[in-house]
A and B are shown apart, each in its own frame.
Chain A
């Protein structure tokens, strides 16, 4: 765009580049100064004359200087016929008037419409940006919730570990019980064996003693014993008879 605002901004990159390189030298990765977009056009006087021109004159000539210079220059150009007022002058004048009327009449309407369109585009961009921000903040919230859930999972893991420990303990005790009962069974068997052995040996000893005692009794002794028994019985019978 061929405007003064664009020309003014076009002069800036040099300084921006200088500050940028300085900033880069001073602090690598530091904040870089960005080009600022001029939101409003430069100041003008009389509708189209840049304010800078008047400022240029102000220090030397005061307020009226630039006006005097302008009027004087135009008068000089016209009176010396450096500027010739031929047909183009009149068509230019008409075009100027037409342009002023058009700008005054149509300008606000078109500006309003264009600003509306710009606002629409801006709000679209903003909407997109805000949607993105919302998505990101939602993601952060979700991440926090997930972390909280992960903490819960730790608790769960603790509980599971405890559960496993309990199960291990139970299994250990069951096995210990198994061992105990198995050992007891074997010991009981041993005890039973001893009992049987003892009973058998006792029985055998009784049998042996009886056999030997019976064998040791001679027929004489048997006879004497029998006689003695008969005598005892007779004595007993006498005693009973007398009683």
Chain B
């Protein structure tokens, strides 16, 4: 029995070192090699996913997007996807359930976009603070609201992902915790419930990584 429900999110490993963070880069081992001329099934799958994302993000970036600017978002997607999905496996630490990681990803990204926009397209950036068709009387409030909504963007990005991951893992942990004290018949039901939840969580893992990447793409396309 675990003493604390949140101990599954504890990055500290042996000798009180935070070695669990190393699992962030476990996904690197999953990237298929391209040693041989003919791709393997895994290569084909991976390539088709990357290509689909590339097309998707290219449309989102629009014609003003620079060539190859989708790569950073695809990389971001891959990193988060591997972390989310591998986190579902037992005994693998989920880095994306920590704001430390997600905010580290979201905040510099957002800050870069904003600085780039303010320096290079100042008027465009501030014009965005008042949406088209706003009544004159609402304009001061709209500026406040838009400013706040813009500033909280990295926070929402990070918190959305983290909250989703934490929620899923908490549910799985709670369900799993009931196992040892159950009868075998009830364990069958527990397993079925957990499978259903895992299917959901797998979907969430993919969707959340996609959402993170797509929103980052959209934020980047807004600044130019």
Query: CB within 8 A of A94: which of B32, B174, B177, B198?
Result: B198
Q: Is the CB of B29 within 8 A of A89?
A: no
Query: CB within 8 A of A86: which of B2, B40, B174, B187?
Result: B2
Q: Is the CB of B45 within 8 A of A114?
A: yes
Q: Is the CB of B41 within 8 A of A86?
A: no
Residues 27-53 (chain B) with a chain A CB within 8 angstroms: 29-30, 32-33, 36-42, 44-45, 48
Q: Is the CB of A88 within 8 A of B176?
A: yes
Query: CB within 8 A of B176: which of A90, A98, A122?
Result: A90
Q: Is the CB of A95 within 8 A of B88?
A: yes
Which A residues lie within 8 Å of B173 (CB)?
A: 87, 91
Contact with B along A1-23 (1 / 0, CB 8 A): 11000100000000000000000
Instruction: Compute how far the CA of A86 lies from the CA of B88 in the bound complex, rounded to whole angstroms.
Output: 15
- Contact status of A122 and B38, CB under 8 A, knowing A6-B33, A86-B176: yes
- Contact status of A94 and B195, CB under 8 A, knowing A89-B176, A118-B38, A122-B38: yes
Instruction: Compute how far the CA of A23 lies from the CA of B179 in the bound complex, rounded to whole angstroms.
Output: 62
Query: CB within 8 A of A97: which of B175, B177, B195?
Result: B195
Contact with B along A91-106 (1 / 0, CB 8 A): 1111101100100000
Which A residues lie within 8 Å of B184 (CB)?
A: none
Contact with A along B18-32 (1 / 0, CB 8 A): 000000000001101
Instruction: Compute how far the CA of A94 lies from the CA of B39 in the bound complex, rounded to whole angstroms.
Output: 32
- Contact status of A98 and B198, CB under 8 A, knowing A85-B179, A90-B191, A117-B48: yes
- Contact status of A88 and B91, CB under 8 A, knowing A94-B198, A98-B199: yes
Which A residues lie within 8 Å of B172 (CB)?
A: 87, 91
| B1 on interface, CB distance cutoff 8 Å | yes
Instruction: Compute how far the CA of A121 lies from the CA of B37 in the bound complex, rounded to whole angstroms.
Output: 10
Instruction: Compute how far the CA of A121 lies from the CA of B47 in the bound complex, rounded to whole angstroms.
Output: 13
Residues 9-47 (chain A) with a chain B CB within 8 angstroms: 37
Residues 87-145 (chain A) with a chain B CB within 8 angstroms: 87-95, 97-98, 101, 110-111, 114-115, 117-118, 121-122, 125
Instruction: Compute how far the CA of A125 lies from the CA of B39 in the bound complex, rounded to whole angstroms.
Output: 12
Choose among A6, A91, A93 the residue with the greatest number of B CB atoms under 10 Å from its CB: A91
CB distance from A195 to the nearest CB of B (A): 106
Which A residues lie within 8 Å of B179 (CB)?
A: 85, 87, 89-90
Q: Is the CB of B41 within 8 A of A92?
A: no
Choose among A1, A6, A90, A117 the residue with the greatest number of B CB atoms under 10 Å from its CB: A90
Which B residues lie within 8 Å of A111 (CB)?
A: 41
Which B residues lie within 8 Å of A101 (CB)?
A: 195
CB distance from A141 to the nearest CB of B (A): 30
Which B residues lie within 8 Å of A92 (CB)?
A: 89-91
| B221 on interface, CB distance cutoff 8 Å | no
CB distance from A102 to the nearest CB of B (A): 9
Residues 168-214 (chain B) with a chain A CB within 8 angstroms: 172-177, 179-180, 187, 190-191, 194-195, 197-199, 202
Instruction: Compute how far the CA of A98 lies from the CA of B91 in the bound complex, rounded to whole angstroms.
Output: 17
Q: Is the CB of A87 within 8 A of B177?
A: yes
- Contact status of A98 and B195, CB under 8 A, knowing A117-B44, A121-B38: yes
Q: Is the CB of B32 within 8 A of A1?
A: yes
Residue of B nearest to A97 (CB): B195
Please list 25 pairs of residues, one from A and one from B, whose beta carbons are closer than 8 Å in the complex, sorted by A's number.
A2-B29, A2-B30, A37-B36, A85-B179, A87-B2, A87-B173, A87-B174, A87-B176, A88-B91, A90-B187, A91-B90, A91-B176, A91-B198, A94-B194, A95-B88, A95-B90, A98-B199, A98-B202, A111-B41, A114-B41, A115-B41, A117-B39, A118-B41, A118-B44, A125-B38
The 6 nearest A-B residue pairs measured at CB: A87-B176, A92-B90, A94-B194, A114-B41, A90-B179, A88-B90
